[in-house]
């Protein structure tokens, strides 16, 4: 009887462990594989954390409907962006007549993560095509966001304490409240 009871408890514990592991995978969408850089789950988390922060900063200016990416963007960067919004390659961006980058589209120009630094740069539309009347005043908003890995409550987190936005020839440095 005791052996049956122990087997039942072991089965229950394994079911609880499996369900919590599956719940964690379902919420993070990370698939663990191995490569020669960093643990893939960590790399996916790095890209997702940075993309999530960047999207929140960009959407202070206006909503992002779609990320436009270069064809050779890192697969983890693409996956992180796709978890947040639809992703299309630059060559597949819909033609919009007078705009080279339609309103609500964000062209990712740099999205890189190294061991302790990262960068996310790009431009949010609308951007009028060159030669269109008013194109010098409707050139989108460029974001330059450097990130550093910092320790917070015994764990490493990505932080960007200031980033730049540029609208045509006007540059602004954004420092979040409480970060001076």
- Taking only the tens place, the pLDDT of each residue in 1-10 is 554 444 544 4
CB atoms within 10 A of CB 10: 10
At 93 the three-state DSSP class reads coil
pLDDT score at 106: 97
Whole-angstrom distance, CA of residue 90 vs CA of residue 76: 18
- Cα dihedral 80, 84, 90, 92, rounded to 10, equals 120
Q: Rg of the chain over CA atoms, in angstroms?
A: 21
Residue 178: is its pLDDT beyond 70? no
| Distances in whole angstroms, Cα of residue 56 to Cα of each of 20, 35, 42, 61, 70 | 29, 30, 21, 9, 21
Q: Please give the helix or strand (H or E) that residue 155 lies within, else none.
A: strand 155-159
Stated length of the chain: 180
Are 53 and 47 within 8 A, CB to CB?
no
Residue 109, judged by CB atoms within 10 A of its CB (0-12, 13-18, 19+), counts as middle
- Of the pLDDT bands very low, low, confident and very high (cuts 50, 70, 90), residue 168 is confident
User: What pTM did the predictor assign?
Assistant: 0.72
Read off the pLDDT of residues 76-130 as tens digits, 9 standing for 90 and up. Answer: 999 999 999 999 999 998 877 888 899 999 999 999 998 889 999 999 999 888 7
């Amino acid at each position: 009887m005791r052996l049956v009871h122990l087997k039942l408890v072991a089965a229950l514990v394994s079911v609880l462990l499996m369900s919590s592991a599956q719940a964690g995978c379902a919420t993070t969408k990370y698939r663990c594989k191995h490569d020669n850089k960093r643990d893939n789950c960590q790399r996916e988390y790095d890209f997702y954390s940075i993309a999530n922060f960047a999207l929140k900063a960009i959407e202070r200016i206006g909503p992002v409907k779609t990320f436009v990416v270069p064809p050779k963007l890192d697969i983890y960067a693409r996956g992180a962006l796709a978890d947040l919004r639809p992703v299309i390659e630059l060559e597949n961006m819909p033609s919009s007549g007078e705009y080279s980058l339609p309103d609500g589209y964000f062209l990712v120009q740099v999205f890189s993560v190294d061991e302790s630094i990262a960068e996310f740069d790009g431009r949010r539309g609308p951007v009028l095509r060159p030669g269109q009347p008013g194109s010098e005043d409707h050139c989108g908003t460029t974001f330059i966001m450097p990130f550093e890995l910092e320790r917070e409550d015994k764990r490493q987190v990505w932080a960007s304490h200031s980033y730049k936005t540029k609208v045509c020839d006007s540059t602004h440095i954004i420092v979040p409240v409480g970060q001076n």
